[in-house]
Amino acid sequence: MTTTKKSLTTTRRAVLAGTAAATFAAIPFMRTTRASAATQTLTPETIRGLFADLPGDLAGKIVAPAAAGRPGLAVEFNASARLFVGSAIKTFVLCEALRQADSPAVTETIASRQLALDESVWSPDAPSFNPPYLTGKVSERTTLEAMITHSDNTATDMALKLAGPGNVRRFIASTGLRSTMIPDSTRIFFGYLLDAANYQTFTWQDLVAAEKAGAAIVNSPLNNVQTMASSADDMVAYYSASLQGAFFNNPATLNQFREILAMCGTIWLVPLPLGVSAFAKGGSIDVPGFHAVCVPGGMFFDDRWVYFCLTINWYAPAETDTDTVSAFLAAASRALTLVKDALS
């Protein structure tokens, strides 16, 4: 595997980050130990303290609406900041694709519609469709599932080609999300990172040639041209609406949307607390000098919904930084478990 191949490989990870300026309504909860059951209080300091030693730019938002007479919960830090979120933007592609197929028969529609899997859509980091070894036709449903479950970039470019990146952007704009940006395709995104003069028409052969030449990353993944960016504010607003069906006309489409998001590996990678129904799509990237992890989504338990987005961008010079990732994942799991315990 060449250095460029590694540099172009986005990975599925998830993260919770906490910094100053958080606001969190203190909520009592019970923790049972072998010795006794003690009433404790979840505070802003409890959440922030989990991430005190993490580097870089951190942002997050956790919101649980009040329900059945029980108080709500809200915590946020740097929530309006536009940060790199990687494959987390694939949820917008999923949503727009399902909106275009929205009907009582949506499942049958996306199962029967066949998409071309060939050199026109091959992209790196595609563990399901494995270019250049697989070609042929694949159903839209299988494509969407591969995009979310395994974050397959070839599947993403197939779904973007079908839905249309312009349509996805118009959908994002129509919801009032102001910090969210998607690329024209993941392959075009990689071409831009390599500063290819023809990045807008970057082909699979161009990518292979760049790898063989040992081409280096030139442009930052977080940019204003071809990127995968959002804010915690945008993500929480989107998930709180989409998971309740605000963008669909038919219950069957909402069910399909939830079903695919519930397959995402992010749920187990963090991991999110046991005992919840979780719906998420995380994202990340590692290139020399720039790293990012994002986990946004929603979870449901005890007749309560919690929506969250937790993001970190940091600037370690090495190509990977597993220590930071591990610390982030451990803190994320602990924080979301505390939130669940507080609301249960």
Domain containing residue 87: CATH number: 3.40.710.10
- Domain total in the chain: 1
What's the longest Cα–Cα distance across the chain? 66
Residues 6+ apart with CB under 8 A from 282: 12, 13, 14, 15, 86, 87, 88, 264, 266, 269, 270, 293, 294, 295, 296, 297
- List % helix, strand, coil for the chain (3-state, nearest 5): 40, 20, 40
> Amino acid letter at 24?
F
The pLDDT of residue 44 is: 64
Would you tell me the crossing angle of helices 90-100 and 251-261 to the nearest 10 degrees? 150
Cβ proximity of 21 and 78 under 8 Å:
yes
The domain in which residue 311 lies consists of 3-343
Nearest to 341 by CA among 278, 275, 285, 290: 275
The pLDDT of residue 32 is: 31
Output the six-digit token pair for 231: 């804010």
Q: Whole-prediction pTM value?
A: 0.88
pLDDT tens digits, the chain, 344 residues: what are they?
A: 233 334 444 333 332 232 222 222 332 322 333 222 222 466 666 777 788 889 999 988 899 999 988 888 888 889 999 999 999 999 999 999 999 999 999 999 999 999 999 999 999 999 999 999 999 999 999 999 999 999 999 999 999 999 999 999 999 999 999 999 999 999 999 999 999 999 999 999 999 999 999 999 999 999 999 999 999 999 999 999 999 999 999 999 999 999 999 999 989 999 999 999 999 999 999 999 999 999 999 999 999 999 999 999 999 999 999 999 988 888 888 889 989 998 98
Question: Any alpha helices (H) in the chain, and if so which ranges?
Answer: 3-7, 44-49, 90-100, 106-112, 140-149, 153-163, 165-174, 186-193, 204-212, 232-242, 251-261, 266-269, 322-343
The pLDDT of residue 4 is: 36
Q: Pick left, alpha or beta for residue 70 (phi over 0 → left; psi -120 to 50 → alpha; otherwise beta).
A: beta
CA distances from 17 to 85, 295, 330 (A): 13, 10, 11
> Amino acid letter at 333?
S
Nearest to 238 by CA among 99, 339, 91: 91
The pLDDT of residue 271 is: 92
Q: Report the C-alpha gap between 144 and 149 in whole angstroms.
A: 8
